[in-house]
């Protein structure tokens, strides 16, 4: 198997599993980016030791993945027809991560946030076939 070098600045489009059979014009296109080694390590550190066992702080990991890897969205609207835009706060977390605003994060349903976070974390495992497609 051929292994390719990864570019953490690579962005990719993602369509939710529940929308993949919908007409293209009805699909929400989430703009995600691959993680750098530093960003990946930060997500790995969302684990903590509790009662002698390693436990995943899933909320922390999901939030960090979205803060780092969600860069845009197309065809996503509020009920009044206003498009949702991805906005970030001016303050930095961990010295380099600009958090999504609460308004932006709250606009995304919880189950969607989880799927997007997973796609961001798995995006750094993209293979040669994925690059071709």
* pLDDT per position as a tens digit, 11-29: 999 999 999 999 999 999 9
Angle of CA points 11, 104, 90, to nearest 5°: 80
Q: What is the pLDDT of residue 127?
A: 44
Tell me if 3 is assigned to some domain.
no
- Give the C-alpha separation, 109 to 30, whole Å: 13
Residue 5: inside a domain, yes or no?
Answer: no
- Is the residue at 110 inside a domain? yes
**Residues shown for the chain:** 133
Of 55 and 29, more confident: 29
Mean pLDDT of 41-52: 65
Q: What is the mean pLDDT of residues 100-113?
A: 95
Give pLDDT, residue 129: 41
Q: Is residue 133 part of a domain?
A: no
Q: Specify if 108 maps to a domain.
A: yes
Residue 54 lies in a domain: yes
Main-chain phi, psi angles of 24, to 5 degrees = -50, -45
Helix or strand holding residue 44 (H, E): helix 37-44
pLDDT digits (tens, 9 = 90+) for 81-93: 999 999 998 887 7
Q: What is the pLDDT of residue 95?
A: 73
- What pLDDT, on a 0 to 100 scale, did the predictor assign at position 112? 97
Residue 129 lies in a domain: no
**Is the separation of the CB atoms in 43 and 121 below 8 Å?**
yes
Number of domains in the chain: 1
Which residues form the domain of 114?
A: 11-124
């Amino acid at each position: 198997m051929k292994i390719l070098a990864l570019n953490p600045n690579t962005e990719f489009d993602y369509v939710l599993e529940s929308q993949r059979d919908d007409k293209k014009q009805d699909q929400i296109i989430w703009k995600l980016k691959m993680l750098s080694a530093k960003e990946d390590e930060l997500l790995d550190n969302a684990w903590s030791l509790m009662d002698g066992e390693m436990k995943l702080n899933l909320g922390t990991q999901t939030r960090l993945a979205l803060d780092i890897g969600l860069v845009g969205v197309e065809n996503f609207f509020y009920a009044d027809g206003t498009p949702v835009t991805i906005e970030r706060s001016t303050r930095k977390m961990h010295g380099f991560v600009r958090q999504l605003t609460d308004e932006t994060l709250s606009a995304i349903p919880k189950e969607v946030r989880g799927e997007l976070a997973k796609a961001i974390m798995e995006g750094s495992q993209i293979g040669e076939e994925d690059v071709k497609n």
